[in-house]
Structure 1
């Protein structure tokens, strides 16, 4: 009987280690890592460099997410959305998760340093430390502005990708960083509207749980307008072509329209539409950065 259960237990443990890394979040981070590399290169970066940057960035984000789950395992147990996580249900032990996170970060640093450069490796490590110590340990449980400041960690992959190509950080890199930085709060607050009761239960002061509806809507709108303005500034700074301009304008209009629907009816359903639209918008915007470069090269 025990022998028959072992493969199932091993599979469950493996899935637990994968879940610790939050794969869906990593996918979104990689979307903002690779396209800036095309813009920085003013062409197509080497496949090897992109591979090292993607692998290193993936491992770094995976380590940061693992540390986040290790620290938040107490509040994860109180929230319906996170009650199934590996450290809550016991699929992985806290000690094993902590070691796993350290190994992932060490591997990420080595791969980025060896395959790209020291600046890219240091930026990825700094993003992890910021996410763990500034956001998770300090701001998340103490400030309604937690995701506003903490969003810097999620925007760092833009800088990692740029630095991997050039070894420096230019104005275009910082504008692209700012796009993700200002995009993060309305994106996450939309999700927090849907799960406001969970955050209330866990006593985590996400803005939709502690502020008035009007205050939440105003802040989401201001951040979204900033994102749209920054996306257009990036087009000017990077001398982008028509394809990027078209996506930035159309995508910004679609993102803004979803905010209008949220003003009309602030419900979990409309909030989730904003959440999903924000993901599509960011993905398309950054994809357009890379495709625009390739298209213009072919002319």
Structure 2
């Protein structure tokens, strides 16, 4: 197909220069639509070439239409059918121009109608295709950004948010950055006793509780299984993360989960690690990603301390621990 476009482009450039082989200035009016022009043999050959190209397009579109009709892809079939009809109209009008000629019947070239229909259809198809691409991109972004079960943010998106927060702190736009890692106490026993459906519902309800108790500038993400991360990144005071997490812990412990006879209570254990701009200088952490990983590791270690303290607890660690 690329050679087809090359040939058409070359013919188009040659018609811009008056010459007896393509388009030439004439001393008399041949038509009120084409005034002062004479058409050379190569120009007519170009017209024939366009018709051949259009016929080839129709052949390809018929094959695509039949293949998609067999697969029952209705949306794509309608689009191909629209292009097929437009190209057929284009060929018919072009042939009519060739048989009658504007010298014999002084009417606007019928191929104008065919060209307009093809151009309009292609533009419409492009608009639909671009709209579909944007929709597919939006769905893909949602899959990458959100956890499919809980609708918390995904781990990959958490890494982006955490890296951005570290950069903001390095520029002095954040006064305090806290990371909280938590999980559900004895989650395996809950799945075994009440079923995986209730276990999944539990994770979703906990995510809702978290969202109800954090600010819009904060971030809740699911690392996997029953393990979550809360990112507190704003110009908050030093005790904001600890106070908020303690409120969340109490809320979860007092909530009844499950339905009917499967109602049960559970708790979560939390590990928090925080960092300030001053600590960034003291610890001499150069790489942003290294700092993010160290904070997650520190919060994870604090979580294990909370587990060892008897679970349903909040353990706070400093970044230097």
User: Which TM-score band applies after superposition, normalised by the shorter structure?
Assistant: under 0.3
TM-score of the superposed pair, with normalisation by structure 1:
0.24
Q: Could you say which structure has the larger radius of gyration?
A: 2
Q: Is the strand fraction higher in 1 or 2? A: 2
TM-score of the superposed pair, with normalisation by structure 2:
0.23
Q: Is the helix fraction higher in 1 or 2? A: 1
